[in-house]
């Protein structure tokens, strides 16, 4: 998108600053302006204002005035009274709410945070500007008397009474401290004061200006009064503004990242991204970093969203869940734990533990894991450190917040997490915050359960912000309030739908606008008005702006921000143009076309060096090769097989294995059922079934349902076996392994059962599936190699599945000649392995039914090269000819 200059009808940002500079210099002669104070909305404004003063003064040297934000100026004022930390006040209020039991079902820590915010606003809303404790007490009493006879709803009365009760004591909270500092500044006013603003100030700050103006000169430069009376109407005032409507979060992020790259290519070196939607901002940032464009961040991220806090959360979650295996592995895979170990050593340790616990099926319990690794030297010490650290955080007891924090810090030291965190800037700040909170709360004697403390800690991490100052980039994230009086080369307003602009003011979960209004506090409407003014100021000072928003989300239409919708409507009415950005769509389409072109040529089809081609394959590996050659490559050559899951309940696979075990044991005891009373056989089979299921019955109540499911099929199975024997078939052996040498490869496996009928042999494979599912497996000759391989290994002329499902037992046999099918399968395997040794490619060409449940789909990335996929032309998975078609 080519930026369009706004034209002469809009003053350049330098003109605004020059206008201010002329006004100041007209009243205060240069070169010495040190007797003047200028209040700025942010420190970024100091440089362009200083440049304007130098430019207008036309002096070789100038002693600049004091240029400062109101907050910084207030911080320069010393106070006699001590300050109470927010963490102390939060703990005190929480204890009161817990004691009174007014909100037993509520998240009291969240409510505490919102109440403290309201208390600060009530303090700032006092009609006076008290400069000391006595004056503040008088102002509070005056406010209290004024409210006593006022009809307030319950929530408003509760907030007001709690605020009133917490204003006792000599210690100052942040709101009172700010209030007193401003009072002292106003009382000592001597220097002339100039103020730059784009939107309204709160009641306290306006009261400060009024009192300051009683003693010294005050002049306000309000951008709302300096710009056109109607910012929407000028015919060319919006020439540099465009609005991109995206159909998804991904499209919005891609469009935003693309525009930033285009701006950089044009030479723009000061690009602001005003992120209204933080989710879109995260995705956009990832796309920019993929394109090697770093982004600085003025806004920052809460500690709760950072990986350093994840290390704490994983540790405390594992502890609370009694080291549930997923939580334990998540903890040990953190890069921060056992940081003194070499990374390779730590990874090997975690991998070994994961293999053990998955193999042994240990679900949870630190003591169980410790017993599991008793003979594993590399794992004993880490497990001992986990036990030691867990002992420091006694979940069954109540402690003060300070004691909990002390125990947490000690446990982090034992686990080496503190070392890992100290190697990271955000980690260092996190460790400092934990230490600070511990010191601040040393005097708080409230007792808290482990879960209460965890919720407190989570909230603390969600309110503390980390800013990475190490990145110096022409592209920066910022927020709308931080753009006041600032001009950039280009501005991106990201995520400007009606849900995000205006954004919701902090708080409001428990106490709504009605409560705020009755207490004379700022409402949501006032907050929105300030955002509207800041937005208009940003558009006034910047002539290259792209707005992005999602017009659809999950198939539902969304609305553009009402502020921007009004601008679009006015502009369309005046100029016949709704400000829509269309050029980016062409760029995105071209980029997508290039990506598709590259991905189509990237369909994986690797070759294998002859020396690593397996000399032996299992039947499951052969099935994998037929289903998808790339699946065979990933599973059996790269050995990327998924680790077994730790089973927490009985699954269909367990049921099938138990049925196999039951029938093996039963037929070893009773090779024939004919000649035995039916009642005796039924009782024997049921007793064996109970014995095989006994361990599952002891640990999982649901095992009874699986046993009942099998019992439903017992009569049908005994009848099928009797009919089978009546046809002359006799049970011979079960679970017999084979390892058959073919030309250039060995085939190995294990059959469920072998029956004989005179000289004839038949291999059987038990399946706890319906007969229709099994028939589908056998539709294409050679599609499923299992029966054919069993028949080949045992030189059997017959093979079949035994379907045991839903109280029915049926024999499902291939429609083709089994002996011929066995021979063809063996030859195909020999030819396939020879081809692989000869450098044949192993393409990812499985059909959708195969890919749907394939754990290697994330490796082959099917879906990114879908066109052309699924064509089964590799030769490895071509169907075998039907019987009678020949063996060509």
Q: Quote the pLDDT of residue 10.
A: 37
What's the pLDDT at 149? Answer: 61
- Confidence check: pLDDT of 282 > 90: yes
Nearest of 473, 480, 471, 472 to residue 542 by alpha carbon: 480
| Average pLDDT over all residues of the chain | 88
Distance of CA 490 to the CA centre of its chain: 30
Take residue 322 and report the two structure tokens written for it.
């009694």
> What secondary structure, in 3-state letters, does 646-702 show?
CCCCCCHHHHHHHHHHHHHHHHHHCCCCCCCCHHHHHHHHHHHHHHHHHHHHHHCCC
In the predicted model, what is the mean pLDDT of residues 377-388?
93
For residue 330, the surrounding DSSP H or E stretch is: helix 325-332
pLDDT of 228 above 60 = no
Distance from C-alpha of 166 to C-alpha of 143, rounded to nearest angstrom: 14
pLDDT attached to residue 3: 31
- The DSSP 8-state label assigned to residue 637 in this structure reads I
For residue 145, pLDDT over 80 is answered with no
Mean pLDDT of 352-373: 88
> What is the per-residue pLDDT across 477-497, written as a single tens digit (0 to 9) for each?
999 999 999 999 999 999 999
12-29 per-position pLDDT tens digit: 688 999 999 999 999 999
pLDDT at 416 (0 to 100) = 97
Q: Name the pLDDT band for 5 (thresholds 50, 70, 90).
A: very low
Cα-Cα end-to-end distance for the chain: 62
Rounded Cα distance between 456 and 450, Å, is 10
Residue 723 has pLDDT above 70, yes or no: yes
What confidence score (pLDDT) does residue 852 get? 84
Q: What mean pLDDT is predicted for residues 826-853?
A: 90
3-state secondary structure 537-594: HHHHHCCCEEEEEECEECCEECCECHHHHHHHHHHHHHHCCCCECCHHHHHHHHHHHH
User: Residue 533: pLDDT band by 50, 70, 90 thresholds?
Assistant: very high
**Per-residue confidence band for 575, with pLDDT thresholds at 50, 70 and 90:** confident
Residue 513 has pLDDT above 60, yes or no: yes
For the chain, helix (H) and strand (E) counts, in that order, are 36, 20
- How far is CA 429 from its chain centroid? 22
What whole-number distance in Å separates Cα of residue 638 and Cα of residue 613?
10
Q: Would you give the DSSP letter of residue 444? A: -
- The alpha carbon of 146 is separated from its chain's Cα centroid by a whole number of angstroms, namely 49
Asked if residues 245 and 275 have their Cβ atoms less than 8 Å apart, the reply is no
Please report the pLDDT score of residue 524 as a whole number.
Answer: 87
Contacts of 582 (CB under 8 A, 6+ apart): none
pLDDT at 389 over 50: yes
Q: Is the pLDDT of residue 787 over 90?
A: no
Extract the tokens encoding 411: 């446990």
Average pLDDT over residues 284-310: 94
* Confidence grade of residue 2 (pLDDT, cut at 50, 70, 90): very low
pLDDT digits (tens, 9 = 90+) for 102-121: 777 788 999 899 899 989 99
pLDDT tier for residue 555 given thresholds of 50, 70 and 90: confident
Residue 885 backbone dihedrals phi, psi, to 5 degrees: -85, -5
* H-run or E-run covering 37: strand 37-40
| Position with higher pLDDT, 312 vs 653 | 312
| pLDDT over 90 percentage in the chain | 63
Backbone angles phi, psi at 411, to 5 degrees: -70, -35
pLDDT reported for residue 423: 95
Identify the pLDDT of residue 504: 77
pLDDT per position as a tens digit, 406-446: 999 999 999 999 999 999 999 999 999 999 999 999 999 99
Residue 42 has pLDDT above 50, yes or no: yes
Angle formed by the axes of helices 307-320 and 401-414, to 10°?
Answer: 100
Residue 591, pLDDT above cutoff 60: yes
Q: What is the pLDDT of residue 8?
A: 33
- pLDDT value, residue 155: 76
Whole-number Å distance between alpha carbons of 336 and 426? 12
Within 8 A by CB and 6+ apart from 705, the residues are none
**453 φ/ψ sector (left φ>0, alpha ψ -120 to 50, else beta):** alpha
Range in 87-96, 648-657, 772-781 the model is least confident about: 648-657
What is the percent of the chain where pLDDT is above 70? Answer: 91
State the number of CA atoms in the 13 A half-sphere of 327 facing the CB.
18
Q: Across 2-11, 28-37, 770-779, which has the greatest mean pLDDT?
A: 28-37
């Amino acid at each position: 998108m080519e930026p369009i200059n706004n034209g002469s009808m809009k003053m350049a940002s330098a003109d605004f600053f020059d206008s201010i500079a002329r006004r100041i210099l007209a009243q205060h002669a240069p070169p010495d302006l040190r007797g003047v104070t200028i209040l700025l909305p942010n420190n970024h404004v100091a440089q362009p204002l200083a440049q304007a003063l130098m430019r207008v003064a036309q002096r070789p040297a100038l002693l600049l005035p004091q240029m400062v934000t109101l907050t910084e100026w207030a911080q320069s004022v010393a106070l006699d009274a001590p300050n109470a930390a927010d963490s102390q006040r939060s703990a005190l209020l929480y204890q009161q709410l817990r004691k009174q039991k007014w909100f037993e079902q509520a998240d009291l820590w969240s409510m505490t945070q919102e109440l403290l915010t309201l208390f600060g606003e009530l303090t700032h809303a006092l009609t006076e500007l008290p400069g000391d404790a006595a004056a503040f007490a008088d102002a509070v009493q005056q406010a209290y008397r004024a409210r006593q006879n006022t009809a307030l709803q319950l929530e408003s009365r509760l907030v007001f009474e709690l605020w009133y009760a917490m204003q006792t004591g000599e210690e100052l909270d942040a709101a009172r401290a700010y209030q007193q500092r401003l009072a002292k500044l106003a009382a000592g006013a001597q220097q002339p004061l100039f103020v730059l603003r784009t939107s309204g100030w709160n009641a306290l700050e306006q009261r400060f200006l009024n009192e300051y103006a009683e003693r010294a000169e005050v002049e306000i430069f309000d951008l709302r009064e300096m710009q056109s009376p109607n910012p929407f109407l000028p015919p060319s005032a919006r020439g540099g503004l465009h609005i991109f409507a995206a159909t998804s979060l991904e499209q919005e992020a891609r469009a935003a990242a693309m525009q930033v790259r285009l701006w950089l290519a044009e030479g723009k070196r000061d690009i602001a991204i005003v992120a209204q939607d933080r989710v879109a901002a995260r995705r956009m940032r990832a796309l920019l970093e993929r394109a090697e464009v770093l982004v600085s961040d003025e806004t920052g991220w809460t500690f709760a969203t950072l990986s350093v806090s994840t290390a704490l959360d994983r540790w405390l979650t594992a502890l609370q869940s009694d080291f549930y295996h997923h939580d334990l592995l998540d903890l040990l895979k953190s890069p921060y734990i056992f940081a003194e170990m070499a990374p390779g050593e730590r990874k090997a340790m975690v991998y070994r533990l994961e293999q053990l616990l998955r193999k042994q099926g240990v679900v949870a319990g630190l003591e169980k894991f410790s017993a599991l690794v008793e003979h594993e030297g590399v794992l004993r010490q880490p497990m001992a450190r986990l036990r030691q650290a867990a002992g420091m955080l006694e979940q069954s007891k109540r402690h003060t917040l300070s004691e909990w924090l002390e125990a947490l810090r000690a446990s982090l030291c034992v686990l080496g997490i503190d070392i890992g965190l100290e190697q990271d800037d955000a980690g260092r700040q996190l460790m400092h915050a934990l230490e600070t909170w511990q010191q601040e709360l040393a005097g708080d004697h409230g007792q808290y359960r482990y879960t209460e403390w965890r919720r407190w800690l989570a909230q603390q991490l969600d309110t503390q912000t980390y800013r990475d100052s190490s990145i110096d980039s022409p592209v920066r994230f910022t927020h709308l309030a931080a753009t006041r009086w600032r001009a950039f080369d280009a501005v991106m307003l990201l995520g400007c739908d009606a849900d995000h602009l205006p954004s919701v003011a902090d708080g409001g979960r428990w106490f709504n606008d009605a409560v705020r209004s009755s207490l004379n506090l700022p409402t949501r409407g006032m907050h929105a008005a300030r955002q509207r003014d800041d937005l208009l100021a940003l558009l006034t000072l910047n002539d290259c702006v792209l707005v992005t928003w999602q017009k659809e989300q999950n198939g539902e239409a969304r609305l553009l921000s009402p502020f921007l919708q009004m601008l679009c409507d006015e502009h369309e009415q005046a100029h016949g143009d709704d400000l829509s950005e269309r050029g980016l769509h062409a760029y995105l389409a071209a980029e997508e076309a290039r990506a598709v072109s590259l991905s189509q040529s990237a369909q994986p089809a690797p070759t294998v060096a002859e020396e690593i081609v397996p000399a032996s394959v299992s039947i499951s590996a052969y099935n994998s090769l037929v289903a998808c050659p790339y699946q065979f490559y990933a599973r059996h050559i790269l050995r990327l097989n998924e680790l077994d899951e730790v089973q927490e309940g009985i699954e269909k696979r367990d049921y099938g294995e138990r049925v196999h075990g039951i029938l093996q044991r039963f037929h070893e005891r009773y090779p024939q059922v004919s000649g035995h009373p039916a009642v005796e056989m039924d009782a024997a089979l049921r007793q064996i079934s109970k014995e095989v299921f006994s361990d599952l019955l002891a640990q999982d109540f649901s095992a009874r349902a699986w046993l009942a499911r099998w019992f439903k099929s017992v009569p049908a199975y005994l009848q099928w076996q009797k009919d089978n024997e009546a046809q002359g078939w006799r049970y011979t052996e079960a679970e017999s392994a084979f390892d058959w040498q073919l030309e250039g490869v060995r085939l190995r496996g294990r059959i469920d059962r072998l029956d004989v009928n005179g000289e004839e042999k038949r291999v059987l494979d038990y399946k706890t599936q319906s007969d229709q599912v099994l028939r589908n497996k056998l539709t294409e000759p050679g599609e499923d190699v299992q029966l054919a391989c069993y028949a080949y290994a045992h030189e059997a002329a017959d093979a079949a599945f035994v379907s045991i499902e839903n109280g029915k037992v049926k024999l499902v046999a291939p429609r083709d000649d089994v002996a011929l099918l066995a021979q063809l399968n063996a030859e195909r395997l020999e030819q396939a392995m020879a081809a692989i040794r000869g450098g044949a490619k192993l393409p990812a060409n499985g059909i959708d039914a195969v890919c749907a449940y394939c754990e290697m789909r994330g490796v082959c990335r099917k879906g990114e090269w879908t066109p052309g996929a699924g064509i089964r032309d590799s030769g490895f998975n071509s169907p075998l000819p039907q019987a009678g078609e020949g063996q060509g």
